[in-house]
Amino acid sequence: MSETDTRTTEETETARRPGRERGREDGKFGRYGGQYVPEALMPAIEELTDAYERYVLDNEDGFMDEFRERLADFGGRPTPLQRADRLSERYDTEVYLKREDLLHGGAHKLNNALGQVLLAKYMGKERIIAETGAGQHGTATAMAAAHLDMPCTIYMGERDINRQRPNVFRMKLNGSEVKPVTTGRGTLKEAISETMRDWAETVEDTHYVIGSIVGPHPFPVMVRDFQAVISEEAREQAREKTGGLPTDVVACAGGGSNTMGTFAHFVDDEDVALHAVEAGGSTLEVDEEAGVAPNSASLFAGEEGVLHGARTKLLQDSDGQIMESHSVSSGLDYAGVGPELAYLVDEGRVDPVAVDDDAALEGFHRLSNTEGIIPALETAHAFGYLEEHHEDLGERVVVNVSGRGDKDLDAAIEETDQRDVANAPDMSMFTGGM
């Protein structure tokens, strides 16, 4: 199908589609999205678009059936929607937790990684590459690649490698090669650029598994569709358990894959408020001179631009150079955000909020000691939000627990140690690391 053809039918089609299918035709979300990539990648993008349409949208060869079966058997889906008794009491509202932390690998990331690696297999690809920041997407991809017997190379910034050694080890245990990226600051955005470079040379036999709803079309829609299982389940579970829909749905947002996964099936439920919680870092102020944003609140504080293949909201300086973002949670530490979220924020459908490092850490300790669930630091932002804004929420709130905190124990020790966290346990035996 030629793109010119697609474009002519676009407006009408999109208008008729429910919100959770937005962008499928052409990767456009209002002004956001698109395919801003080097020409050399275009054939791969087109091949992928074709495969996405056939296998994912049309379930050709039973792709979606196999995907769902593997998500269940290998991944452990469905994940529960659990009532959080003690938080419900604390906030005098019904708080429900969507337990993506129970997914194999410990985060929602596997939904996408498994989908893409399986798709690569259906496409006849022989090799997987991926980038990773915190290492969560990398470990999920490495697991999926081992499970499906695909050779896999993961690019990871050198600085991230040093911050996330257990995740590096996990990837290697799963048989993946981990390639350190030494350019720039050695974090996620450099790793993405590097992976794109690899892909530009190897498109014929290689699939690039992007880790969030970012990048050129069809990645944002495809990753969303793979992650949408979260809200598909949560919506059904909420109806079963509570007899109705939630008043509010809360999810943290880095690139935004767990966010859109959690929102997708609620987008058309206009009475359900959707809250995307970004990392407010240490402050929302930006240091233009140094090119540093001490946060990664691109929905809240970013401006329109083009990054990594898509038009979206970015943290950038006035020249358009991408800023160094910062967050206590490396998985939220990204200067961009998925174009669909940028669109939904502009439309007023999604409420963007920023929660700072301190509040996130308190959220981390709060969920750990009141509910017996140690969340990822990314996830902890959602609980920081709950604490600060519960009075603005309705009577039934679903919060996505996007991941578990095992990967963050060292960071939690270090960060707790640096501040006065009111609800932290006695840390004396841990300071100085484990």
Partner 1 sequence: MANSDALDAAFADGPAYVPYLVVGDPDYESSKAYVEALDRGGADVIELGLPFSEPIAEGSTIQEALVRSLDAGMTPDRFFAFAEELEVDAALVCMTYYNLIYQYGKGEGPRPFVERAAAAGIQGLVVPDLPAEEADPLREACDEFGLDLVFIVAPTTRGDRLDRMMANVSGYVYVQARLGTTGARDDVSDQTTASLDRLSGYDVPKAVGFGISTGDHAERIVAGGADGIIVGSALVDVVAEGVAADLSTAEVADRLEALSRELKGGAERGHRSRTGTVESA
Ligand X SMILES: Cc1ncc(COP(=O)(O)O)c(C=O)c1O
Q: Which residues are catalytic?
A: 109, 131, 402
Binding flag, residue 167, ligand X (CB under 6 A) = no
Nearest CA among 30, 45, 343 for reference residue 216: 45
Nearest CA among 225, 278, 222 for reference residue 255: 278
The answer to whether 157 touches 195, Cβ cutoff 8 Å, is no
Binding flag, residue 43, partner 1 (CB under 8 A) = yes
The one segment of 139-147, 241-249, 317-325, 383-391 that binds partner 1 by CB under 8 A:
317-325
* Binder of partner 1 out of 183, 239, 347, 394 (CB under 8 A): 183
The answer to whether 136 touches 112, Cβ cutoff 8 Å, is no
Helix (H) or strand (E) holding 179: strand 177-181
Q: What angle do CA 201, 205, 206 make, to 5 degrees?
A: 70
- Rounded CA-CA distance 135/116 in Å is 17
* Binder of partner 1 out of 319, 391, 420, 426 (CB under 8 A): 319
Q: Which residues, in sequence order, are CB contacts of 169 under 8 Å at separation 6+?
A: none
Select from a copy of itself, ligand X, partner 1, none the partner in contact with residue 331, using the beta carbon and a kind-dependent cut-off of 5 to 8 Å: ligand X
Sites for ligand X among residues 103-142 (CB under 6 A): 107, 134, 136-137
Binding track over 389-428 against ligand X, x by CB under 6 A: -------------xx-------------------------
Q: What is the dihedral of CA 295, 299, 302, 307, to 10 degrees?
A: 100
Nearest-approach distance from CB 319 to partner 1, in angstroms: 5
- Biggest CA-to-CA distance, the chain: 65
What tokens does 429 get?
């035996």
59: alpha, beta or left, given left = phi > 0 and alpha = psi -120 to 50? left
Binding track over 285-324 against ligand X, x by CB under 6 A: ----------------------------------------
Binding flag, residue 72, a copy of itself (CB under 8 A) = yes
* Binder of a copy of itself out of 318, 372, 391, 420 (CB under 8 A): 372
Bridge partner list, 404: 375
Q: Which residues, in sequence order, are CB contacts of 351 under 8 Å at separation 6+?
A: 273, 274, 275, 276, 345
Nearest-approach distance from CB 8 to a copy of itself, in angstroms: 43
Neighbours of 45 (CB within 10 A): 21
Select from a copy of itself, partner 1, ligand X, none the partner in contact with residue 374, using the beta carbon and a kind-dependent cut-off of 5 to 8 Å: a copy of itself
User: Tokens 């490092």 correspond to what residue?
Assistant: 357
Instruction: Specify the residue, 152 or 314, whose C-beta has the smaller distance to a copy of itself.
Output: 152
CA distances from 398 to 88, 109, 272, 292 (A): 11, 19, 10, 33
Angle between helices 219-227 and 109-122 (to 10 degrees): 120
Q: What angle do CA 300, 302, 303 make, to 5 degrees?
A: 130
Alpha helices in 17-157 (DSSP H): 42-51, 63-73, 85-91, 109-122, 136-147
Binding flag, residue 252, ligand X (CB under 6 A) = yes
Bridge partner list, 281: 356
Binding flag, residue 102, ligand X (CB under 6 A) = no
Binding flag, residue 318, partner 1 (CB under 8 A) = yes
Binding flag, residue 200, partner 1 (CB under 8 A) = yes
Select from a copy of itself, ligand X, partner 1, none the partner in contact with residue 376, using the beta carbon and a kind-dependent cut-off of 5 to 8 Å: ligand X
Instruction: Specify the residue, 302 or 375, whose C-beta has the smaller distance to a copy of itself.
Output: 375
Binding track over 285-304 against partner 1, x by CB under 8 A: ------x------------x
Instruction: Please report, as ranges, the residues that interact with ligand X according to CB under 6 A.
Output: 107, 134, 136-137, 212, 252-259, 331-332, 376, 378-379, 402-403
Instruction: Please report, as ranges, the residues that interact with partner 1 according to CB under 8 A.
Output: 2-4, 34-40, 42-43, 46, 183-184, 189, 192-193, 196-197, 200-204, 291, 304-309, 314, 316, 318-322
Instruction: Please report, as ranges, the residues that interact with a copy of itself according to CB under 8 A.
Output: 72-74, 76, 79-83, 85-86, 99, 101-104, 106, 142-147, 149, 165-166, 168-170, 172-175, 365, 368-374, 405-406, 409, 412-413, 425-426, 429-430, 434
